[in-house]
Amino acid sequence: MTEELLAHQRISPATATTWARWGATVAVLTAALLAMLGSFASAHVRSTEGTSQIRQDGSTVRYELSVEYDLLAAAAGLGSPDAAEGLQRLLERQHDRLASYLTERVTVSVDGVQCEAELVGTGVEDRQGLRYAHSSLVYSCPGSPSGAFTVRYGVFSETDAVVDDQINVADYQLGGSTGTFVFDTAHHEFEAGKTGFFSAVARFAVMGGEHILAGIDHILFLVTLLLGARDWRSVVRLASAFTVAHSVTLGLGALGWVAVPSAIVEPLIALSIVYVAVENIIGGESRHRTFVVFGFGLLHGLGFASALSFTDGLSGRLLGALLSFNVGIELGQLLIVVVLFPVLLFIRRYQWSAYWHTAAAAVAGAFGLVWFFQRFLA
């Protein structure tokens, strides 16, 4: 692509040399800056996701909570297991401390009266290469079983200072109502029956949009694709391949039907940026790029799935949540494309565009390479 643009613009050797130097300088400086920012982000930004399954049986409510083990141990002050004991044994030894932490932060009320809580069981499970603590809480509730149930969730609050951002997808059956609610840093409470279908759909769509717009690696991958795209037809073809692929693995991963450890997925996502960036530098869009993008889309879909998981089986409600989450991702992706690609087309009108194209691809590749080593060595 670089040679084609040079021939088309017919720039002078002196001008080419000047812009080449500027482009190389900017590429190196920007890559260094991004590397430092990447190191800073990986050291200080921490997000997590968990699940809650809430079921009522008469005056009893059973709450199955699943969150990251290490974060729960730090927040509840459980300490580290002794040399001779495992993680499960530590949970059992620290049962009272864990019960105090959870029953204070996860409460169920009916008609304004708080239910009596008890931690009846704990366990350890592996999910996508991470250790999760599973806690079974039982609530004895006064009043009518068909009353108004309110659930408050305060695990990993700001005062715990163990995580920067979190979501916990709660599937509930309370007071004759069923639904799904997403706890996060801004939403800590819901009343059963008051979380309508459309509000849940909107919430999952917002989550999807936030996930891709906050995921710098996903954005950078799209940017590298747009750098090498020839025209709008090419953009539509590549975006469609990426969308279909990540939609498949998003659904399979969120449902738990496909589980690949994040220690494998995240470094490969970083390498996908490097691959497309290098391809942009040496030749632009190849004949096989659509298939390559489809393969990388499968990886990115597994990355998207890390932000979403469900405790119940396949149902219309679950499919609606998955669809709306994916719609949010697509809207975020569309926003990036319609804002950035016209700018790239405009830049290509100028003589220096070939060098800035190479510099931008080099920066993206450098950033992806830094991420790869960070994630591989983590």
Where residue 105 falls among pLDDT bands split at 50, 70, 90?
very high
User: What pLDDT is attached to residue 235?
Assistant: 93
Give residue 12's pLDDT: 54
pLDDT for the residue 41: 44
CB of 281 closer than 8 Å to CB of 361: yes
Taking alpha carbons only, the member of 375, 362, 353 closest to residue 16 is: 353
- pLDDT at residue 316, as a whole number: 61
Give the angle 319-324-328 at the CA atoms, nearest 5°. 150
| pLDDT at 153 (0 to 100) | 95
Contacts of 190 (CB under 8 A, 6+ apart): 150, 151, 170, 181
pLDDT band (50, 70, 90) for residue 8: very low
Q: State yes or no: pLDDT of 376 exceeds 80.
A: yes
The predicted model scores a pTM of: 0.70
According to the 3-state scheme, what is the secondary structure of the chain? Answer: CHHHHHHHHCCCHHHHHHHHHHHHHHHHHHHHHHHHHHHHHHHHCCEEEEEEEEEEECCEEEEEEEEEHHHHHHHHCCCCCCCCCCHHHHHHHCHHHHHHHHHHHEEEEECCEECEEEEEEEEEEEECCEEEEEEEEEEECCCCCCCCEEEEECCCCCCCCCCCEEEEEEEEEECCEEEEEEEECCECEEECCCCCHHHHHHHHHHHHHHHHHHCHHHHHHHHHHHHHCCCHHHHHHHHHHHHHHHHHHHHHHHCCCCCCCHHHHHHHHHHHHHHHHHHHHHCCCCCCHHHHHHHHHHHHHHHHHCCCCCCCCCCHHHHHHHHHHHHHHHHHHHHHHHHHHHHHHHHCCCCCHHHHHHHHHHHHHHHHHHHHHHHHHC
Confidence band, pLDDT 50/70/90 cuts, at residue 121: very high
The answer, yes or no, to whether residue 4 has pLDDT greater than 50, is: no
Residue 22, pLDDT above cutoff 90:
no
The better pLDDT of the pair 222, 49 is held by 222
| Percent of the chain predicted with pLDDT > 70 | 81
Cβ-based neighbour number of residue 254 at 10 Å = 24
Range with lowest mean pLDDT among 8-17, 160-169, 328-337: 8-17
Q: Please give the pLDDT value at position 197.
A: 64
Beta-carbon count within 10 A of 320 CB: 16
What is the reported pLDDT for 7?
45
> How high is the mean pLDDT of the chain?
82
Q: What is the mean pLDDT of residues 237-252?
A: 91
Whether residue 193 is predicted with pLDDT greater than 90 in this model: the reply is no
CA distance 36 to 33: 5
Residue 14 above 80 pLDDT? no
* pLDDT band (50, 70, 90) for residue 45: very low
Percent of all residues in the chain with a pLDDT value above 90, rounded to a whole number? 39
Question: What are the structure tokens assigned to 266, written together?
Answer: 């995240």
Name the residue type at position 351: Q
Residue 317 CB-density burial (10 A; 0-12 exposed, 13-18 middle, 19+ buried):
middle
Q: What is the mean pLDDT of residues 93-122?
A: 95
Residue 164 has pLDDT above 50, yes or no: yes
Using CA atoms of 157, 159, 160, 161 in order, give the dihedral in degrees to the nearest 10: 100
Q: Are 131 and 87 in contact (CB under 8 A)?
A: yes
| Average pLDDT for 27-40 | 50
Query: Which of 27-31, 118-122, 217-221, 239-243 bottoms out in mean pLDDT, i.e. has the lowest?
Result: 27-31
Over 80: is that where the pLDDT of 67 sits?
yes
Highest mean pLDDT among 76-85, 315-324, 366-375: 366-375
Cα(198)–Cα(317) distance, integer angstroms? 11
* Phi, psi for 282 (deg, rounded to 5): -90, -15
Q: Above 50 in pLDDT, residue 116?
A: yes
Tell me the mean pLDDT in the region 266-281: 91
pLDDT tens for residues 141-159? 988 888 899 999 999 988 8
- Asked whether the predicted pLDDT for residue 128 surpasses 70, the reply is no
The pair phi, psi for residue 124, each rounded to 5°, is: -125, 135
Distance between CA 43 and CA 257 in Å, rounded? 31
Q: Are strands 47-57 and 165-174 parallel, antiparallel or unpaired?
A: parallel
Q: How confident is the model at residue 298 (pLDDT cuts 50, 70, 90)?
A: very high
pLDDT of residue 146: 83
State the pLDDT at residue 230: 86
Question: In the β-sheet with 149-153, what is the strand arrangement from edge to edge?
Answer: 113-114, 106-110, 149-153, 189-191
